[in-house]
């Protein structure tokens, strides 16, 4: 039986704000290595004959970013399923299992969150092999992380009767405990952290879902059957998927089934759920600091300092998390970083946007970043991938000037199309159809100056787009 890795990429990682934001969340960021966490997850299950190519389940906003990251690494997903709305892990599991079952009736589904760090990949593979034997026999397998301390931020799994090869029946799942309860769990033994990694036959999990959460099973199956191909993606049918109750696979099935099994594993696992988790696994200096970027740490102890765009200097501080991203500076006590999401909630309530997007905004053709904003003008830097193009579009309330910094541009303005080289420019009047393309082998760098009485991203009329965004008003530019 082939194992089909299913990478769940639906979270926003608000506790890792300001680096993680809803339009570019933590699983798409290189937080532990020089590769995005989602890519690291995919690479762990690549290059081994036991695994099929991965299936990615994500929301629509992140589809092009994920596709580009996979291409850059040479990975080709078996499928990329697009959720029209977020509905937690049970509906995501159901659509992935339905997809696998239609392709391979005996296929095994390996459910993997996209944002986990695993230091010992060999131990991870060994645990998967042990779990696969149980899954083939019809068990619903979860992987319990052997605890290294009385962690209160994780749920726990209590082991039941022993099964073959060091596995156990699941006695019960336990909610996140308080400190005294977590200490009692460790003292008694027989408890593992719940990592949210699961392995089961596609037909078995769907069978259990029809018993324990029939609405999810039915609507998810319909969402796959009515799904529509869009480039390399499968858009799940919105009405059916939206009708799924929002439940985790733990609550929907695993806490109710009689066939749950747990494989304990010690593999250097972390869910990278907060800045303190990154401090825990990071390489520390002689004074216990983890620093990234341009940082001067003087008389500084046990701090996490990340500088992304400029110099950060610290003096006489300890046990802090300091994160600088250009548009935001976060300073927090290291033992309070679980509450960063409260700041994100406050930003949302105030109608601000710093929780949604970085100054650099990614598009399928590349990215843009704001350089200067004024009352009637705005300056941006655009980077267009080789062979990529913006849509054919016009703006009703702004004019634009484009200056080529590097690369070669093919520019359409009205009925005229011409090539622009470095230091050449063009002007696009208000209401004029235009398009920017990169026909060359190198990235195209453009400075764009906008002027007008309204400079919002929603002032766009799109006539043609190679990425199928003609009716996607949220994907401006």
Kindly tell me the burial class for residue 282, based on how many C-beta atoms sit within 10 Å of its own C-beta (0-12, 13-18, 19 or more): middle
From residue 218, give the alpha-carbon distance in Å to each of 206, 234, 251, 308, 475: 10, 18, 17, 46, 31
Q: How far is CA 322 from the centre of its chain?
A: 23
Distance spanning both ends of the chain, measured CA to CA: 45
Judge whether 137 and 224 are in contact, CB under 8 Å. no
Chain centre distance of CA 365:
19
**Is residue 92 a contact partner of residue 8, using CB atoms and an 8 Å limit?**
yes
pLDDT value of position 9: 95
Average confidence (pLDDT) over 229-253: 94
Say yes or no to pLDDT of 292 above 50. Answer: yes
- Within 10 A of 259 (CB to CB), how many other CB atoms are there? 18
How much is the CA Rg of the chain, to the nearest whole Å? 24
Q: What is the pLDDT of residue 130?
A: 95
| Confidence band, pLDDT 50/70/90 cuts, at residue 475 | very low
Rounded CA gap, 218 and 319, in Å? Answer: 50
pLDDT recorded at residue 428: 96
Sign, CA dihedral 8-13-16-17, equals positive
Q: Is the pLDDT of residue 44 over 50?
A: yes
- For the CA atoms of 78, 126, 276, 306, the dihedral, rounded to the nearest 10 degrees, stands at -60
Cα gap 10→22, rounded to integer Å: 10
Query: What is the longest distance spanned by two Cα atoms in the chain?
Result: 77
CA dist., res. 294 & res. 288, Å (int) = 17
pLDDT for res 1 = 83
Nearest to 428 by CA among 464, 403, 453, 406: 403
Query: 94 is written with which tokens?
Result: 């159901």
Examine residue 18 and say whether the peptide bond preceding it is cis (omega within 30 degrees of 0). Answer: yes
Question: Strand 320-324's sheet: what is its strand order?
Answer: 290-292, 304-307, 320-324, 329-333
Cα of 238 vs its chain's centroid, Å: 21
Question: Which pair of tokens denotes residue 133?
Answer: 């034997």
Q: Which CATH superfamily is domain 3-270 in?
A: Spore Coat Polysaccharide Biosynthesis Protein SpsA; Chain A (3.90.550.10)
b/e sequence 398-430, b meaning 16+ C-beta within 10 Å: bebebbbeebbbbbbbeeeeeebeeeeebebee
Contact between 455 and 415 (Cβ < 8 Å): no
208, exposed or middle or buried, with CB in 10 Å at 0-12, 13-18, 19+?
Answer: buried
The reported pLDDT for the residue numbered 477 is: 52
What is the percent of the chain where pLDDT is above 70? 98
Beta strand 117-118 with 228-230 is unpaired
Tokens of 457: 């991203």
Alpha-carbon gap, residue 271 to 24, rounded angstroms = 17
* Start and end residues for every CATH 3.90.550.10 domain found in the chain: 3-270
Say which residues have a Cβ less than 8 Å from residue 172's Cβ, sequence separation at least 6: 157, 158, 255
Q: Which CATH number fits domain 360-464: 2.60.120.10, 1.25.10.10, 2.50.20.10, 3.30.565.10?
A: 2.60.120.10
The per-residue pLDDT for 10 is: 86
- The model's confidence at residue 476, banded by pLDDT at 50, 70 and 90, is very low
Mean pLDDT of the chain: 93
Q: What angle do CA 298, 307, 37 make, to 5 degrees?
A: 125
- CB-neighbour burial class of residue 249 (10 A; exposed 0-12, middle 13-18, buried 19+): buried
pLDDT tens-digit series, residues 406-434 = 999 999 999 999 999 999 999 999 999 99
Convert the pLDDT of each residue in 157-176 to its tens digit: 999 999 988 899 999 999 99
pLDDT at residue 13 above 50? yes
In the chain, % of residues over pLDDT 90? 87
Mean pLDDT of 15-42: 94
The predicted-structure confidence for 102-154, as pLDDT tens digits, reads as follows 999 889 999 999 999 999 999 999 999 999 999 999 999 999 999 999 988 89
Backbone angles phi, psi at 221, to 5 degrees: -60, -40
| pLDDT greater than 50 at residue 209 | yes
Q: Whole-prediction pTM value?
A: 0.87
Which residues of the chain are in CATH 2.60.120.10 domains? Answer: 360-464
Number of H helices, E strands in the chain: 11, 30
Q: Is the pLDDT of residue 472 over 80?
A: no
User: Does pLDDT of 473 surpass 60?
Assistant: no
User: Which pLDDT does position 106 carry in this prediction?
Assistant: 86
In this prediction, residue 28 carries a pLDDT of 94
């Amino acid at each position: 039986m082939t194992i089909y890795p299913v990478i769940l990429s639906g979270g926003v990682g608000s506790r890792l704000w300001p680096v993680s934001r809803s339009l570019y969340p933590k699983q798409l960021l290189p937080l532990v290595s020089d590769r995005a966490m989602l890519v690291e997850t995919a690479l762990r299950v690549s290059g081994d004959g036991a695994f099929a190519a991965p299936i990615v389940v994500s929301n629509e906003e992140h589809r092009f970013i994920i596709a580009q990251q996979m291409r850059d690494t040479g990975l080709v997903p078996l499928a990329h399923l697009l959720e029209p709305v977020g509905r937690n892990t049970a509906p995501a599991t159901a659509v992935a299992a339905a997809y696998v079952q239609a392709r391979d009736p005996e296929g095994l589904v390996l459910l993997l969150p996209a944002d986990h760090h695993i230091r010992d990949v060999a131990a991870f593979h060994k645990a998967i092999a042990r779990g696969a034997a149980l899954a083939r026999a019809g068990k619903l397998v979860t992987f319990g992380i052997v605890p290294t301390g009385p962690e209160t931020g994780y749920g726990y799994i209590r082991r039941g009767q022993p099964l073959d090869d060091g596995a156990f029946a699941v006695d019960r799942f336990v909610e996140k405990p308080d400190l005294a309860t977590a200490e009692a769990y460790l003292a008694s033994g027989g408890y593992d952290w719940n990592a949210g990694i699961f392995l089961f036959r596609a037909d078995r999990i769907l069978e259990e879902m029809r018993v324990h959460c029939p609405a999810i099973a039915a609507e998810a199956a319909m969402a796959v059957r009515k799904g529509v191909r869009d480039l390399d993606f499968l858009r799940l049918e919105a009405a059916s998927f939206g009708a799924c109750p929002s439940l985790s696979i733990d609550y929907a099935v695993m806490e109710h089934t009689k066939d749950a099994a747990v494989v304990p594993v010690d593999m250097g696992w972390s869910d990278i759920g907060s800045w303190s988790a990154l401090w825990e696994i990071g390489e520390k200096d002689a004074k216990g600091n983890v620093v990234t970027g341009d940082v001067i740490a003087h008389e500084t102890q046990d701090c996490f300092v990340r500088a992304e765009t400029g110099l950060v200097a610290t003096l006489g501080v300890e046990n802090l998390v300091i994160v600088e991203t250009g548009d935001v500076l976060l300073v927090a006590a290291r033992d309070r970083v679980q509450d960063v999401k409260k700041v994100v909630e406050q930003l949302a309530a105030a109608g601000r946007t710093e929780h949604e997007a970085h100054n650099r905004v990614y598009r399928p053709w590349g990215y843009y970043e704001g350089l200067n904003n004024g009352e009637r003008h705005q300056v941006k830097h655009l980077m267009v991938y080789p062979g990529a193009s913006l849509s054919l579009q016009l703006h009703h309330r702004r004019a634009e000037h484009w200056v080529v910094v590097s690369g070669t541009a093919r520019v359409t303005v009205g009925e005229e199309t011409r090539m622009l080289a470095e230091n050449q420019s063009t002007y696009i009047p208000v209401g004029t159809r235009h398009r920017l393309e990169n026909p060359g082998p190198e990235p195209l760098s453009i400075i764009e100056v906008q002027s007008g009485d309204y400079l919002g991203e929603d002032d766009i009329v799109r006539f043609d787009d190679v990425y199928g965004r003609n009716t996607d008003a949220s994907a401006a530019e």
